[in-house]
């Protein structure tokens, strides 16, 4: 018979416990569980909470982690974290609670207890949880995942649940691998969103893709000694949108910065350059390359990272963000007549 896999809902406040959540999620995968939670869009309104309830309906075990925050408040005055907890209790899902033993020692950046009103709600909720059942106290991010795994193993024996069993027509291992991949993508998307929001407050007057920029293109040729030498610089004017429409699709997968420079140089100088010999190659000046990078990054369209090349060297690579992918599709999709 196929091994049963349990679905575990991980509940907590989000921004203050993100690292802890990531560690516990990895531990759950290693335990061969199916972790679920609101990683994509932490609960912030009643519509999303209705979706959360459906997830909890399908959950075998509910893990609650409490630090020093009460969480986002719903219209009824209760935090969404508490609403999740009470719903799990209401429908009879086994609850495993992990409560920080000394919330007053946590930094103020991740704590509500310095605000009298928030502190009152936090301690009320914390006391309700600790009074309702046996809970595990924690004070270390490093040991908490192991405590969760031990508690779940005990629950598997004392309170077995329906779980999920592999169907002959479904490859559960591949499904779990896909879940891990999606989780990593969501983490990356959250970081991009965080960066975009931070930049949005600072760059209110930034020019959009309709702006025209000056690109300086360098030509290089081989001399009589077969050495590559510079053969002049030409100035071209082009719109950011036109460059992005032409070169953007090449960044769906990561694109070496030198290749990007060559593609843009060929595009902006097309039909205007006098060089036709195969002995020539073209690139952007460093100033032009930096200008394009700064502008596209500021618009949230690309991310640039260092990585190994096929030859083993290290280089910059340009890749579209989620926003950039959407924009490339908008600019290049073939529209119906």
Residue 175's pLDDT is: 66
Per-residue burial over 41-75, b if 16 or more Cβ lie within 10 Å, else e, is ebbeeeeebeebeeebeebbbbbbbbbbbbbeebe
187-212 mean pLDDT: 68
Q: Which conformational region is residue 169 in: left (phi greater than 0), alpha (psi within -120 to 50 degrees), or beta?
A: alpha
Residue 279's pLDDT is: 55
The pLDDT tens digits of the residues spanning 150-193 come to 999 999 999 989 888 766 555 656 666 666 667 666 666 666 66
Confidence of residue 214 (pLDDT cuts 50, 70, 90): very high
Fold agreement (4-165, 212-332): no
Q: How far is CA 12 from CA 81, 226, 299, in A?
A: 6, 65, 33
Higher per-residue pLDDT: 49 or 325: 325
Mean of all residue pLDDT scores within the chain: 84
Residue 336's pLDDT is: 76
Percent of the chain clearing pLDDT 90 (strictly above) = 50
Q: Does position 2 have pLDDT exceeding 80, yes or no?
A: no
Q: Does position 333 have pLDDT exceeding 90, yes or no?
A: no
Residue 201's pLDDT is: 53
Residue 45's pLDDT is: 67
Q: Does position 24 have pLDDT exceeding 90, yes or no?
A: yes
Q: Is 295 helix (H, G, I), strand (E, B) or coil?
A: helix
Q: Does position 224 have pLDDT exceeding 80, yes or no?
A: no
Residue 1's pLDDT is: 39
The DSSP code sequence of 89-137 is HHTT--EEEEEES-GGGS-GGG-STTSHHHHHHHHHHHHHHHHHS--EE
Tell me how far the alpha carbon of residue 233 is from its chain's centroid: 40
The pLDDT tens digits of the residues spanning 113-135 come to 888 999 999 999 999 999 877 78
Kindly list the domain boundaries of the chain, sorted by start residue: 4-165, 172-199, 212-332
Residue 49's pLDDT is: 83
The pLDDT tens digits of the residues spanning 240-287 come to 999 999 999 999 989 999 999 999 998 988 866 555 544 567 889 999
- Whole-angstrom Cα distance, residue 273 to residue 42? 53
The pLDDT tens digits of the residues spanning 283-305 come to 899 999 999 999 999 899 999 99
Residue 278's pLDDT is: 47
Residue 307's pLDDT is: 87
Q: Does position 313 have pLDDT exceeding 60, yes or no?
A: yes
Query: For the ranges 85-89, 181-185, 214-218, 235-239, which has the lowest average pLDDT?
Result: 181-185
Residue 97's pLDDT is: 95
98-110 mean pLDDT: 92
Residue 152's pLDDT is: 94
Residue 243's pLDDT is: 95
Confidence of residue 314 (pLDDT cuts 50, 70, 90): confident
Confidence of residue 56 (pLDDT cuts 50, 70, 90): very high
**CATH topology (fold) of 212-332:** Arc Repressor Mutant, subunit A (1.10.10)
Highest CATH level, class, for 4-165: alpha beta
């Amino acid at each position: 018979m196929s091994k049963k896999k349990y679905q575990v809902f991980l509940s907590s406040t989000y921004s203050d416990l993100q690292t802890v959540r990531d560690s516990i999620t990895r531990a759950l995968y290693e335990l061969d569980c199916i972790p679920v939670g609101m990683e994509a869009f932490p609960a912030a309104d009643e519509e999303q909470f209705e979706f959360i309830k459906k997830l909890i309906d399908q959950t075998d075990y509910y893990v609650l982690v409490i630090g020093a925050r009460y969480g986002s408040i719903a219209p009824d005055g209760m935090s969404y974290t508490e609403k999740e907890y009470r719903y799990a209790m209401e429908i009879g899902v086994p609850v495993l609670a992990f409560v920080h033993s000394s919330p007053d020692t946590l930094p103020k950046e991740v704590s509500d207890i310095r605000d009298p009103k928030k502190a009152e709600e936090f301690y009320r909720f914390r006391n309700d949880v600790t009074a309702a059942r046996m809970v595990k106290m924690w004070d270390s991010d490093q040991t908490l995942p192991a405590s969760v795994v031990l508690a779940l193993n005990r629950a598997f024996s004392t309170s077995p649940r329906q779980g999920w069993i592999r169907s002959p027509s479904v490859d559960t291992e591949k499904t779990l691998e896909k879940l891990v991949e999606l989780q990593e993508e969501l983490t990356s998307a959250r970081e991009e969103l965080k960066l975009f929001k931070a930049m949005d407050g600072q760059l209110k007057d930034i020019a959009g893709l309709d702006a025209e920029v000056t690109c300086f293109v360098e030509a290089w040729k081989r001399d009589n000694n077969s050495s590559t030498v510079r053969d002049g610089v030409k100035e071209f004017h082009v719109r950011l949108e036109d460059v992005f429409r032409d070169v953007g699709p090449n960044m769906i997968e990561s694109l070496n910065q030198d290749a990007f420079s060559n593609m843009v140089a060929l595009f902006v100088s097309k039909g205007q350059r006098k060089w036709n010999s195969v002995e020539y190659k073209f690139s952007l000046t460093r100033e032009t390359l930096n200008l394009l990078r700064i502008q596209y990054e500021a618009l949230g369209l690309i991310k640039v990272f260092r990585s190994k090349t096929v030859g083993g060297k290290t280089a910059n690579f340009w890749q579209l963000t989620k926003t950039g992918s959407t924009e490339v599709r908008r600019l290049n999709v073939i529209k119906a007549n």
